Structure 1
């Protein structure tokens, strides 16, 4: 039968490239070429160095013809190694009587095929851009089935089959990496769920009522507003809400609203289109898009600028966003957890926070008590931090508490709350001597008295700015005037250093060289 080579190539290539699934494409091609080339099975294989075997990438068969999809060993021959045999393979090899070919017969014996030699093989090497990537095998029932003209026709399809095989190998690698990522994510989610239940120290004591509220609201879709001073553990409780919710398998995206410059906050939260502004070289997904199907935690929600508040209100109302520079709305399926240490109600009254957004977020407020109001949690927190910090610091043995240490810690005001206690324990472990913790002795002026900590000595109720200024001064005193770094005032207060400096400037609190705090000597220069 005379075959139009161009038409044969065009029809076969269309089928090879007609599906993203390589086995579907191979089956379609096999159905077509069997009218021109005897073919009832087809496979693609790669060589595995070291193991000296051919491994199947994809295989198909028709009419129930046996499909040899296992590993095919390549045996050395004379001075030729399996690798050189593979690399020096001819373009197309015809094997009409496999039972009489010593190399093929020995390989089939190793595969457990000893007497079933009634088939013919047509094997073609596949190269792409000068690099050997694999081979294509075509088989059919019966011996002496292949002629030179069949090999010539199959040779026409070398390039389309090579491209299809390269794509199949890349796809399998992507699937493998995706499976590894999914497995890692499952492991991390399991750990997070365990941490959400185990690391909320005080859930049976000082935080008992808070945890009851968390368990009540977590299974729902309602927004949650976490209220409490800096350092009380709002992020830990946000983790718990997410892990106790039906969205636990989705992402939990955390945003510190006070740490993002006003000029970038729209792009960070809602994303931007390519060319939306100078430097926008490509489209970028914002935090809300990344949280789709899960939860977004907006920490320090009171720091959002007015324009971002308007866009957040739009998200709450319509469950969609618009990227900066975009014109089409992007739907998002998210749950919002917001947190702040500020008095949002007073901010609404002063016009600093939108009233309609406040009503949207204040559906289920959860107030977290400061550490000074739940002193019964201090022993458990101290022991918890000793365990975790010992692992972080790679200590062979956990230091012990000196007598009276817990009493002294319980007598301190803890303006930085749990975060300050954590830093105090870490400093004590670093300074430990002979296996005993060394705590800095709390100063008398910082000890808890019976007076309301929010009232000055004369009993007048503090304004919000006065309370902020007093709290910041305490943090600066604890850090000895240092804003940045571990143990700095910004870390104690849970703020970005630039945000803290901006707030201190507004409140008239000196920092840097103007600050009246004792300077830290680093051995080279004084530092703030």
Structure 2
């Protein structure tokens, strides 16, 4: 019975090109070829001429197929041999006599006396592949067997190219999945946040932000916890030329010490136990964008050294990687600690401190910008009442502003936000009260928002409606008759503009067109016809 070469080529090719998974198609090919060729096991590898590194991709034997992904660095004298023309198909009687087999023997992959069949695969310009067949003990490959294997050189090259492209796509898919998960977390943490106080308490800060944003210089944000340093960092990114790139936030104090290397710099697949896939670190994810290192003062000394190298060399070394990775990033760091004192005490590297402190920005605490409190409260009420599922947006009760303005806010904006949320949870009806929440005035005593008459105690108190009317009129004077808008009386009184208008109509307070020019004069002028007589608030 004659041997059908066409049938052999068809059946072998179907198996070689039957899967995109290297271990699967190599196992199928082995199980078919072992009927015709005395092969004990076979290995698929590829060589990267630029790195001089050979990667063992997969192997197959009677035990089955197995994915390897092991790298063997070729010695310098072997690199040129591996890419030398004219060596597309070789039979090596003893492995120990062949230069390219030496790294395999050293790594325990080959017996020195084994007979080999080596077939080079030109998968694509940047990849030279190889199928290595190791003969069964005491056997070698005769000419007929060599001819059969040579017929499969092109199918193996196609299979390797497809497999390599498939693996690259799978790795890219995994990286995109990691980025998507990280972006989801960033969106959750940053959703709905905006900077309040741009025209008042943070005006100086925002002027500096606009000045430095277009540049690539590092920025160091200084300020107490809860002042909104992450928002300022995001603003710098949004106003920069990198705004289309990623903005990656890292809390240096929140990453477990055992995971810091992997989280910041990434790792290769198999770099350590549990590294089942390649992972890009935060620095690599921030490529072409901005990385924000919050709580930079919490970095350990060894990581300070690595960060300094990133700033100087613009490259990182993922865990398990053979070569560094270039990154194009802008670094914004932040801390609530005194870095200068830490440098003096040897807790923070002086050279890193100078690298980071190219353009420092000091963010004032909330107690130094209390004029922003009404706007912040309005913003938090608007955001939080939706989160809490309130059907109607509640208004602060009268006098709330005095109570909030009198508190020192050691926790800054974050404390104010939590206070507003707590008050909304406890509120009933359409008003939110801040009483009973433990707010202290600057002197340490509890401040109650009450109006105290300056008249003698035996004089009768004015009617409540007159006090409310006078208070609203005072706000109208301060806002020059404007009711709505950022500079309006409603904002100053922490009220909804429509609610304030209803109140003024009920109290008979003139406003709008009817009061044209009326509130341009300051209270105390005798010609002011709408000022109530003997009002204790003026």
Decide which structure has the larger Cα Rg and report it.
2
What's the TM-score once normalised by structure 1's chain length? 0.48
What's the TM-score once normalised by structure 2's chain length? 0.48
